[in-house]
Amino acid sequence: MNNSFDEDFEENVRPPDEVVRERLLQDTRSDFDKELDEVLNLSMREFHQQQIMNDQYEEQIKKSFIEEVNKRKNIFQTLLLNLNKLIKFDKEVREIYDIIEPIIDSYCGLFIETCELDKITHNKIFDMLRKIRVNQKAVEILKTIIVEQKS
């Protein structure tokens, strides 16, 4: 039984293809065409190398952007968390939170570096933050972001 399978298999195997020999023709292009091909190849290689450099630079910019966003978010994370707990019980803290949360969010997203507020609002914010036990380092950094508007 095994022998008949081998015979059937041998019958169904096709013979190998014939070997074909090809000869390359001599390059009959003009010197101008040859130089043009070399220049085009060189240009494509330079473009590819420039593209690689641009991609690396773009990745570096993205990485530094993400690092800076994370650094800024970490600074204000505990401050916002503490205020978020207090807004459920205190209306004044809620007002302060509603003012500073979008400012901090914009700062953390690298949209703004500073925000000018009128003197009354500025003093109200920092007077309230002085009364609350929060991260003073974050409050000091917040003072550099939220500045009093000059008249």
Return d(Cα 25, Cα 28) in angstroms, integer. Answer: 8
* ∠ CA 139-141-143, rounded to 5°: 70
Q: Is residue 28 part of a domain?
A: no
Q: What is the structure's pLDDT at 135?
A: 82
Alpha carbons 74 and 78: distance in angstroms, whole number: 8
- Report the number of distinct structural domains present in the chain: 1
Domain assignment present for residue 30? The answer is: no
Residue 98, classified by CB atoms within 10 Å of its CB into exposed (0-12), middle (13-18) or buried (19+), is: exposed
Nearest partner of 80 among 110, 113, 103, judged by Cα: 103
Residues in the chain: 151
What's the domain range around 129?
35-148
- Does 1 reside within a domain? no
9 assigned to some structural domain: no
| pLDDT reported for residue 25 | 80
Q: Mean pLDDT for each 10-residue chunk of the chain (151 residues)? A: 64 81 82 90 96 97 96 91 89 92 93 92 91 86 89 66
Q: Is 121 exposed, middle or buried (0-12, 13-18, 19+ CB in 10 A)?
A: middle
Does residue 20 lie within any of the structural domains? no
Alpha carbon of 151 to those of 21, 147, 148: distances in Å? 90, 12, 9
In DSSP notation, 67-93 reads HHHHHHHHHHHHHHHHHHHHTTT-HHH
Give the angle subtended at the CA of 85 by the CAs of 84 and 91, to the nearest 5°: 75
Specify the pLDDT at position 125: 92
Is there a domain that residue 74 lies in?
A: yes
